[in-house]
A and B are shown apart, each in its own frame.
Chain A
Amino acid sequence: MAVYRLKTPISEEEIRKLTVNDIIYINGALVTARDAAHKRALEFHRKGKKLPLNLEGLAIFHCGPIVKKIRDEWILVAAGPTTSARMDLYEADFIKNFKARVIVGKGGMGGKTTEGMKKTGAVYGAFTGGAAVLAARAVKKVKKVYWLDLGMPEALWILEVENFGPVIVAIDSYGKNLFEDNQKKVMKNLKTL
Chain B
Amino acid sequence: MFDKVIETVAFKLIKLAVTELPRDVERALQQAYKEEESETGRTQLKAILENVELAKKYKIPMCQDTGIIIFYIKAGSKFKDLHKIEEALRDATIKATKEIPLRPNAVNPFTRKNTGNNTGRYIPFLNWEIVQGNGLELTVMPKGGGSENVSVLGMINPSQGIEGLKKFVIDSVIAAGAKPCPPIILGVAVGGGADIAIKLAKAALLKPLDQLNTDPKLAKLEKEIFNLVNSTGIGPMGLGGKTTALAVKLEFAHRHPASYPVAVVFQCWAARRASAHISANGEVEYLSHRVI
Contact = CB atoms under 8 A, between A and B. Distances in A.
Contacts of B60: 77-78, 132-133, 136
B18 to A, nearest CB: 9
Interface stretch (A7-15, A46-54, A60-68, A92-100): A60-68
Contacts of B203: none
B268 interface: yes
Interface in A73-89: 77-80, 82-83, 85
B238 A66 contact: no
B205 to A, nearest CB: 16
A178 B55 contact: no
Interface bin, chain A: 35 or more
A137 to B, nearest CB: 6
Contacts of B270: 130
Contacts of B43: 23, 128, 166, 168
A179 B51 contact: no
Contacts of A128: 43-44, 47-48, 51, 237
Interface of B: 39-40, 43-44, 47-48, 50-51, 54-55, 58, 60-66, 101-104, 114, 144, 146, 170, 174, 177-179, 181, 228, 231-235, 237-240, 268-270
23 contacts: A1-B40, A64-B103, A66-B66, A77-B61, A77-B64, A77-B101, A78-B103, A85-B179, A107-B179, A108-B178, A129-B268, A130-B181, A133-B51, A133-B54, A133-B61, A134-B54, A137-B54, A168-B44, A179-B238, A179-B239, A182-B240, A186-B232, A189-B232
Nearest 6 A/B pairs, CB to CB: A129-B181, A131-B51, A128-B47, A78-B64, A130-B63, A132-B64
Given A79-B64, A130-B270, 17 more contacts: A66-B66, A66-B102, A66-B103, A78-B103, A80-B63, A128-B51, A130-B48, A132-B63, A133-B51, A133-B55, A178-B239, A179-B239, A186-B177, A189-B232, A190-B170, A190-B174, A193-B170
